[in-house]
Structure 1
């Protein structure tokens, strides 16, 4: 019990301490006009109140990630708590805040555009590919997983395909509506269900007759029943709730509806902390109610949705347990919708098709949904595996973009560079070792080769950043006609 309570307390304290430092390091300007005010279009750029933006951000980033991921992460044992706490405070929440705020300073630009501006044009194309792949996988996963949960609540015989089609219809209608109607009207209700059900499960764990596994020297070990290594496995299994690149595709969308830069810490950093709390609850519940073999068997039988059902009913009873399951269902429904909406925006920006008429919106939206529909027939666990890899690659790219921003601005860039280096190494090792990559297994070649590749990438990245920094120095002799900081990056100057 105390591991869970202290962990949740640490997350909250992290928001008020390290979160405050991250905000100060960035330097929000409450007097600066936001994209919602400057570019208001009644579709994607619409001013909304702080509390509504925060709820939308939470539901957008949550999905089934902070539920399914921690359930599967619980197979490693109580060590999962450590990654959630430290990953959330020092990596995930920093990632979300910085990307959201840099987007805010750039008219709500999505990650590919920011990569093109602060790194180079070639990187923009790479990031665009990964962002589109990630969002397509996320959208598909967040059709399949809520469909399975909904089917479990309905009478036997209701076909899964029918539920999937109905979810796509809901997504299609919501995607073309203005954001304040598609999300602003419905999400507060979804948010209330999520928050209440999460609190109910957490309190039931604390005050119920359940033995919660504590993190001690004796339990600080790898308990995975299949013997999967903690590194890099757990950092890809528990992504949402600790560190997730998917969030880098969602924060820019919310940056287009914010009315004041001071809202950033609560909306971006704070909602990531809230997601971390949700992840802690589901790890604790999985460890308290099941042993590793039972948990593994339930996951292997389908998805983690079976665990969600069992936990909810066991802790809250049939009636309130069903409400809790509904609370989990709204997570992927909201995140799936936001994933497809973000994908539409990214594709439209990339091919330069302004989203100002219904035919233009549908011309991009319909093909996306057709591709996603066929992907729903692919095994969920395969989709999840590729989603995890693409997700963390996107997180690394977002951290490198925001590190470059801080570096050019003369701020403390180590706050994003350190987690960026760690996750870059994890991504490279994962690619070298896993079957979806080179299949080398967790050998010395994978670890040392990963270290060498990571260092080469960082050396190129650092050299390019130093060259960019030199161009911003008015006293430097530049090749291209003494370009000034105002010419290259006006937002780095005009933010006071």
Structure 2
């Protein structure tokens, strides 16, 4: 069977879903462009800054993409291409895109605050604090993981390190001229993309060779700065310009895939149990980004909602952005399943999922006239650039949530009290120091717990939106039923991890898994109580 059939089916379904289900959700959310968004009402030139839809889509997509939608599908291919393909397509349309879209809208309707603040207003302060602690710890793990991944990539491919440093300088120039000197966006984009291409060439010609620890230190210094400077200086322009690299890689991969016309060599279904574990829940935890990921809710309600220019943009950025990521996940899956089982295992052993993906896309780009080595190098550069984007976004989100965790209201005036915990510099430094200690240590030991924690975030985000919709008198089935499924996946995965870690004598990891399990149950209990009260007051099932 030709892999072209898979990509064609996926693209058609994604386009149809965007036009139909995306429009249906927009009506359910009652999007209204006459209603000012927080980017305008709270415009502070630092965090709350209106951004044009293409620019914000670039930031949002760059932040949620990273390497995760590549690693997950390639790894989960071991279950066979049919279950992986179905989960990416159906999960992306009915769970992931709904999750991202609803997280943006809910945050916009709550002054651009995080999911934790939405839980506070719907479930209560205890629920908010539990969520924020959990979310902050998860972000610390993400920062540690990506700092480690980026540093190792730059050591192995120093060309990527040089280019990425130049990308940062180019973004600052773009932000200065376009956002502060009214330089035309189109012309600025053309020049900016041309400079990115030059940066890639320069990086290949003059690679910067540094040690792993040096790269980790540089990355942590960078994210501290990126977390506290105004978004127009670095975050918006960097993500926007870098998105063109990912679009180029995606477009080149799709077009090259049609010319290459790979055949599916992999088994369609490998069984319910593999070396990774049982298909349920392992498949649904392994393929997170590309189908549904809790980290996306933190991006959607953390940085994206604060930059949304008008409410109708939420459909393109939230629902559309997720479907673009699902397309990337399908391409990643194809690079794995066009190999035989034996070649797949050997390719994974030789560099891991990202290397396998880069070689596959390199083969596709070769049909367009690029040399195989150039295609592989370019793909590796793009993936590392977006891992760095996820790193700086996660740090900014960690800062937001840490500050929210220490916020308290003055009962007399209703204003937020200032304390050291709400200081942006203190919040950033504590977040980065915690992540840095893991980045240079043995953080991989808790990676399986992180996978489950990420999906638990998705379940809790859907839970928060479900309660919010019920409290304002709107039907919430389109988020409530995906929420039920994600809780079932997460709790099953955590139960398996608890059992395995206890048997293996890993009692610290067992304790963490048990804590997460209890957290999920407690939050679900709070939500159930709130929904029951809403139902009793309205006489309608919530």
The TM-score range, normalised by the shorter chain, is: 0.7 to 0.9
Q: Alignment partner for residue 462 of structure 1, among 528, 531, 539?
A: 528
| Per-residue deviation, 1:183 | 1.6
| Per-residue deviation, 1:472 | 6.8
| Per-residue deviation, 1:47 | 1.2
Q: Alignment partner for residue 47 of structure 1, among 46, 50, 57?
A: 50
138-147 or 12-21: which moved more? 138-147
Q: Which residue of 1 aligns with 2:435?
A: 372
| Per-residue deviation, 1:370 | 1.4
| Per-residue deviation, 1:294 | 4.4
Q: Alignment partner for residue 467 of structure 2, among 404, 407, 427?
A: 404
Task: Tell me if 1:333 matches 2:388.
Answer: yes
Q: Alignment partner for residue 105 of structure 1, among 104, 109, 127?
A: 109
Q: Alignment partner for residue 269 of structure 1, among 310, 314, 319?
A: 319
Q: Which residue of 2 aligns with 1:236?
A: 285
Q: Which residue of 1 aligns with 2:476?
A: 413
| Per-residue deviation, 1:220 | 3.8
Q: Which residue of 2 aligns with 1:15?
A: 18
1:455–1:172: structure 2 CA closer, same or farther, 3 Å change rule? closer
Distance 2:10 2:73 in 1: 14
Contact 1:141 1:383 in 2 (8 A): no
| Per-residue deviation, 1:361 | 2.4
Alignment partner of 1:285: what SS? helix
Q: Alignment partner for residue 212 of structure 1, among 247, 253, 264?
A: 264
Task: Tell me if 1:386 matches 2:449.
Answer: yes
Distance 2:290 2:392 in 1: 19
| Per-residue deviation, 1:130 | 1.6
360-369 or 76-85: which moved more? 360-369
In the alignment, structure 1 segments of 5+ residues that lack a partner are 442-452, 474-496
Q: Alignment partner for residue 320 of structure 1, among 375, 387, 390?
A: 375
Q: Alignment partner for residue 226 of structure 2, among 144, 150, 174?
A: 174
User: What is the RMSD computed on CA atoms of the aligned residues?
Assistant: 2.9
- The alignment covers a number of residue pairs equal to 458
1-10 or 90-99: which moved more? 1-10
| Per-residue deviation, 1:302 | 6.3
Task: Tell me if 1:153 matches 2:160.
Answer: no
Distance 2:346 2:251 in 1: 27
Written as runs of structure 1 = structure 2, the 5 A alignment for 1:349-364 is 349-352=404-407, 360-364=423-427
In the alignment, structure 2 segments of 5+ residues that lack a partner are 159-206, 366-371, 408-415, 505-518
| Per-residue deviation, 1:242 | 0.5
Contact 2:56 2:307 in 1 (8 A): yes
Contact 1:145 1:305 in 2 (8 A): no
Distance 2:85 2:307 in 1: 33
Task: Tell me if 1:284 matches 2:334.
Answer: yes
Deviations for 1:453-483, whole angstroms, at most 9, x for unmatched residues? 999986764343121354579xxxxxxxxxx
Deviations for 1:82-120, whole angstroms, at most 9, x for unmatched residues? 000000100011011111101001100101111111122
| Per-residue deviation, 1:144 | 1.8
| Per-residue deviation, 1:10 | 1.0
Contact 1:354 1:360 in 2 (8 A): no
344-353 or 261-270: which moved more? 344-353
1:204–1:64: structure 2 CA closer, same or farther, 3 Å change rule? same
Contact 2:51 2:307 in 1 (8 A): yes
1:315–1:12: structure 2 CA closer, same or farther, 3 Å change rule? same
Distance 2:7 2:385 in 1: 25
Alignment partner of 1:261: what SS? coil
| Per-residue deviation, 1:222 | 3.1
Alignment partner of 1:28: what SS? coil
Deviations for 1:147-188, whole angstroms, at most 9, x for unmatched residues? 233223237974222222222222222222111222222222
Distance 2:400 2:343 in 1: 42
TM-score by length of structure 2 reads: 0.78
Task: Tell me if 1:184 matches 2:236.
Answer: yes
Q: Which residue of 2 aligns with 1:251?
A: 300
| Per-residue deviation, 1:396 | 0.7
Distance 1:424 1:223 in 2: 20
Task: Tell me if 1:137 matches 2:141.
Answer: yes
Distance 2:277 2:417 in 1: 47
TM-score by length of structure 1 reads: 0.85
Distance 2:48 2:284 in 1: 34
